[in-house]
Amino acid sequence: MHSRRDFLQKLTATAFTIPLVSTVVPEVFAERTNLYQNEKVLKVALMGLGSYANRVADAMRDCKRAKITGVISGTPSKIKDWQGRFNIPDKNCYNYENFDAIKDNPDIDAVYIITPNALHHPQALRVAAAGKHVICEKPMSINAQEGREMIEVCKKAGVHLLIGYRMHFEANTLEIVRMRREGELGTIRFFQGLSGFKIGDPTQWRLNRELAGGGAMMDIGIYAINGARYMVGEEPIWVTAQEVKTDPVKFREGVDETITFQLGFPSGAIASCLSTYNMNYLDKFYLNGDKGFAEMQPSTGYGPIRSWTHKGRLDLPHVTHQTTQMDEMAAIILDGKKAIIPVDGEEGWKDMVIIDAIFESIRTGKKEEITYV
């Protein structure tokens, strides 16, 4: 079985190499040193112990500010295995029926929800009701309405809601965003985002509309949407979209196989993007301005990210994305740090607003305005 996780790992591991022209070390590396000055550690329970949770857990072994202290799973054998690997006591282990009891557990500050997409909304509401901070994998929900409710419930409960946008802390990404913000690329005119791979096992939950809320768009296409926003530095105001389906058996009604979509921004910049479960080797961002360009390929895989601009190669030092993400999120929750590229609930909600508009454009065959209300 081939999954997105396998694809991203293999793609980045076998990325082609171009001779290094120049290396720029962004300020983010200096800033990360400050994370370790405060010894307070975020105590995290992982909910859903699948392949990505294992990746997060392994990465967190190197965290300075975040530690796994609990687990939540519907599979007792997984819990037993994780207890042995991460020295988790029985009192910090829960299932999906009883995890509301974390309310009375001081060993858990936050819960990282890594379950199928359709479960994010109800589980986040329960975690917030228990008074714990919510870290939720993307997409945060299956539509914008659910995302908005998650934001409001967490706000009312006085807890943080953060979305697992690991690329928002990645060095190459941050350097290109810095260049764009400081005018080194000039006026931004165009963005291209290509996100896709050929999915395997047709029985997996990612091809189940009830659990996934869609198909490729919810899984891999959201990288192109989110990337368009932070690379261009604006929120899109219109979208046109087209769907192509070559295998209606594997990709049933409501499960998208391939979608191309175009975004328009207030400045006049445009984006052209592709989301697919039927083509391999698609992990590329390209940003064009009237003074320069930036390109990344791979752009969102697990690393190392390869990047270059009109000034030469970047290819900044690789740190495991989930390690950086969890340390930075700990600083956001514990210290009130502000992320350079936001990872809060509003950030996740805007992606859902755009996804809703993409699906609506496919339904109507028309250009759809995007409104963030």
Question: Does the predicted TM-score (pTM) go above 0.95?
Answer: no
Read off the pLDDT band of 35 (50, 70, 90). low
* Domain annotation covers residue 335: no
Q: What is the pLDDT of residue 39?
A: 80
What would the pLDDT profile of 36-93 be if each residue is shown by its tens digit? 566 899 999 999 999 999 999 999 999 999 999 999 999 999 999 999 999 999 999 9
Same domain, 78 and 13: no
Asked if 96 is an active-site residue, the reply is: no
Same domain, 10 and 137: no
Average pLDDT over residues 357-363: 98
What is the CATH number for 97?
3.40.50.720
Which of 278, 285, 238 minimizes the C-alpha distance to 259? 278
Same domain, 140 and 17: no
Asked if 138 is an active-site residue, the reply is: yes
Catalytic hit among 138, 230, 284, 350: 138
What is the CATH number for 250?
3.30.360.10
- As a whole number, the mean pLDDT across the chain is 93
* Domain annotation covers residue 73: yes
* Domain annotation covers residue 214: yes
* Domain annotation covers residue 328: no
What would the pLDDT profile of 123-136 be if each residue is shown by its tens digit? 999 999 999 999 99
Same domain, 162 and 172: no
Same domain, 103 and 61: yes
Q: What is the pLDDT of residue 23?
A: 44
Q: What is the pLDDT of residue 17?
A: 40
Q: What is the pLDDT of residue 18?
A: 38
Same domain, 127 and 238: no
Catalytic hit among 94, 112, 165, 223: 223
Same domain, 204 and 349: yes
Same domain, 307 and 189: yes
Same domain, 188 and 311: yes
Residue at a domain's end among 134, 166, 198 = 166
Same domain, 42 and 148: yes
What would the pLDDT profile of 147-196 be if each residue is shown by its tens digit? 999 999 999 999 999 999 999 999 999 999 999 999 999 999 999 999 99
What would the pLDDT profile of 220-262 be if each residue is shown by its tens digit? 999 999 999 999 999 999 999 999 999 999 999 999 999 999 9
Same domain, 70 and 145: yes
Would you say residue 30 has pLDDT above 80? Answer: no
Same domain, 124 and 189: no
* Domain annotation covers residue 322: no
Query: Torsion angle of alpha carbons 135, 131, 157, 122, nearest 10°?
Result: 60
Residue at a domain's end among 166, 194, 224 = 166
User: For residue 157, what are the domain limits?
Assistant: 27-166
Average pLDDT over residues 203-213: 98
Residue at a domain's end among 166, 188, 218 = 166
Domain count, the chain: 2
